[in-house]
Amino acid sequence: MHLTGNTILVTGGGSGIGRGLAEAFHRLGNTVIIAGRRRDLLDAVTAANAGMAAYTVDMSDRNSIEALAGAVAADFPSLNVLVNNAGIMRGERLADLHGDLATAEETIATNLLGPIRLTAALLPRLMAQPRAAVIAVSSGLAFVPLAATPTYSATKAALHSYAVSLRHQLRDTPVEVIEIAPPYVQTELMGPQQASDPHAMPLEAFIEETMELLAAEPAGGEVLVERVHPLRFADRSGRAAEMFSALNPG
């Protein structure tokens, strides 16, 4: 995709990878809109990035997504890039659920149904642009799951599959479909301790490498920093069982 001259909507743009991508695109002179649940986080980002716009949205709620799509389409008719980044990641002990699937249901609604709904709502507008892109932020865990977060891992695997199918269906349209699959990154996705975990990739380094790969138009539409390669290519390398054991000791 072209990295300049775009109007870009980034969900989950108030923190973490979403904020990092939004600010990187903003520095390149794009018109950037961020969306997320927490107004305080969104306001902090827009205050630090003059000209960036923000909308609140609950990506687990169909009506909230439709309202976001309508507002952004009306206010930014040149919208041509959607970054589906918003997501939640929570631990689950499956043997202890006793029929309580609230975490699983919210994770599926936010991480999978949310991007599908928002893509469907905005796709007609994107297809009307001379060039456009849908970017799905999945995870290295789409390829080797973290057993402690089974529904999160499953939604990211499903999002990867959805992106592959969407790319195929849109191959003769102006809409490019790109998948960004992050490794373990220093964000607060699983709590404040993750942001300083030395085992996680520093967020700034992840964003810098990701933007370089986007500029190089990655083969197959997948943006894969070097650090995620062991997970992404675990099956190809014959190390899937080894990688699963490393992620899930005991």
Q: CA-CA distance, 177 to 40, in Å (whole number)? A: 31
Which phi and psi angles does 140 have, rounded to 5°?
-60, -25
Instruction: Indicate which residue of 55, 152, 162, 184 is catalytic.
Output: 152
Half-sphere exposure of 74 (CA within 13 A, CB side): 7
To the query of whether residue 152 is one of the catalytic residues in this protein, the response is: yes
Q: Which of 56, 8, 59, 14 is nearest to 29 (CA)?
A: 8
Q: Can you state the angle between helices 203-215 and 16-27, rounded to 10 degrees?
A: 50
Say which residue the tokens 């675990």 belong to: 234
Q: Which residues are catalytically annotated? A: 152
